[in-house]
């Protein structure tokens, strides 16, 4: 009789889906930690001209078009790269032998040694060129603007003309600070910084006149006015990969 009751109890336990007391629970392997998401700042540091600690100070608002000029550092000589105006936002290519710039809705390339501009693509929603990726020379960091004026960032493939958007968190103060840095003209290349600042002088009538110029500063050094613009505004600078040239815009009057 006792044996029958024991068998009946085992059947009840099995039917209820219960485990015997001496059964060991199945152990699951610990979940792998989620990959750490790289911050926007660290992703953009691969591009030329991006500061590790971007300044929040805003320089003069200088986005007008004009002619492209080059400043030769050391000799402090300047020379024009274009004969016509209408250019904006010039940057050196990764190799440093050419300059890429905006002209209206076109992206054009010009040899540093001089020559006719080559139109690469027509992409009207690009508002600014920032710099090339040091690890992937085909990638050019750009600032874009949608039809309602909202800014965005992405990298442009010079080979294909395709823009790959770079997402950012609009609610993040760090991402917003980086976006403002990209929209300004303060550029950092290691210990060297190029930026736009106001230059005051007196007119022939003795009245104070304020222009914008391009300055270069290294750690521990004094700012140098490399554009030497006195009668017109200059701005939108970028440093060459070898640190020997600064390209900038001499604004049309």
DSSP-assigned states of every residue in 71-123: EETTTTEEEES-SS--EEEEEE-TTSSEEEEEETTEEEEEETT----EEEEE-
Element housing 42 (H / E): helix 40-44
What pLDDT score does 150 carry? 86
**More confidently predicted of 171 and 207:** 171
What pLDDT score does 151 carry? 87
Q: What is the mean pLDDT of residues 132-145?
A: 94
| Residue whose tokens read 């693509």 | 121
Confidence of residue 153 (pLDDT cuts 50, 70, 90): very high
**What is the widest separation between alpha-carbon atoms in the chain?**
124
Ranges 53-67, 157-171, 197-211, most confident: 157-171
Q: What is the mean pLDDT of residues 213-234?
A: 92
Nearest-angstrom CA–CA distance, 9 and 125: 77
Eight-state DSSP code of residue 134: S
Nearest-angstrom CA–CA distance, 145 and 97: 29
Q: What is the mean pLDDT of residues 133-162?
A: 93
Within its chain, how far is the Cα of 42 from the centroid? 11
pLDDT over 60 at 245, yes or no: yes
pLDDT over 60 at 34, yes or no: no
Residues 6 or more apart in contact with residue 249 via CB below 8 angstroms: 64, 65, 66, 67, 68, 69, 87, 88, 89, 90, 234, 235, 236
The overall average pLDDT reported for the chain is: 84
Query: Contact, 237 vs 196, CB < 8 A?
Result: yes
Nearest-angstrom CA–CA distance, 239 and 71: 10
Task: Find, among 127, 168, 121, 124, the residue nearest to 144 by Cα.
Answer: 127
Nearest-angstrom CA–CA distance, 200 and 187: 22
What pLDDT score does 251 carry? 93
Query: Contact, 103 vs 144, CB < 8 A?
Result: no
pLDDT over 60 at 11, yes or no: no
Q: What is the pLDDT of residues 49-94, one digit of tens each?
A: 987 776 655 556 567 899 999 999 989 899 999 988 999 999 999 9
What is residue 67's three-state secondary structure? strand
Pick the range with the lowest mean pLDDT from 10-19, 106-115, 144-153: 10-19
What pLDDT score does 56 carry? 52
Nearest-angstrom CA–CA distance, 110 and 126: 18
């Amino acid at each position: 009789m006792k044996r029958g009751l024991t068998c009946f109890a085992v059947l009840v336990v099995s039917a209820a889906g219960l485990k015997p007391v001496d059964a060991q629970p199945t152990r699951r392997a610990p979940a792998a930690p989620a990959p750490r998401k790289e911050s926007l700042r660290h992703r953009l540091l691969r591009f030329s001209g991006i500061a590790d600690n971007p300044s929040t100070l805003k320089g003069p608002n200088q986005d007008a078009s004009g002619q492209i000029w080059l400043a030769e550092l050391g000799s402090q000589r300047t020379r024009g790269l274009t004969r016509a105006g209408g250019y904006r936002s010039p940057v050196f290519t990764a190799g440093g032998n050419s300059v890429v710039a905006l002209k209206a809705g076109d992206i054009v390339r010009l040899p540093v040694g001089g020559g006719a501009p080559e139109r690469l693509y027509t992409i009207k929603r690009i508002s600014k060129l920032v710099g090339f990726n040091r690890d992937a020379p085909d990638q050019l960091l750009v600032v874009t603007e949608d039809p309602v004026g909202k800014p965005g960032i992405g990298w442009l493939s010079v080979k294909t003309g395709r823009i790959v958007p770079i997402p950012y968190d609009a609610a993040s103060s760090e991402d917003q600070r980086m976006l403002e840095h990209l929209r300004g003209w303060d550029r950092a290349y290691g210990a060297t910084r190029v930026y736009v600042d106001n230059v005051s002088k007196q007119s022939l009538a003795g009245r104070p006149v304020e222009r914008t110029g391009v300055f270069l500063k290294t750690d521990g050094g004094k700012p140098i006015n490399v554009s030497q613009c006195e009668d017109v505004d200059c701005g939108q600078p970028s440093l060459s990969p070898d640190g020997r040239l600064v390209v900038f815009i001499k604004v049309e009057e």
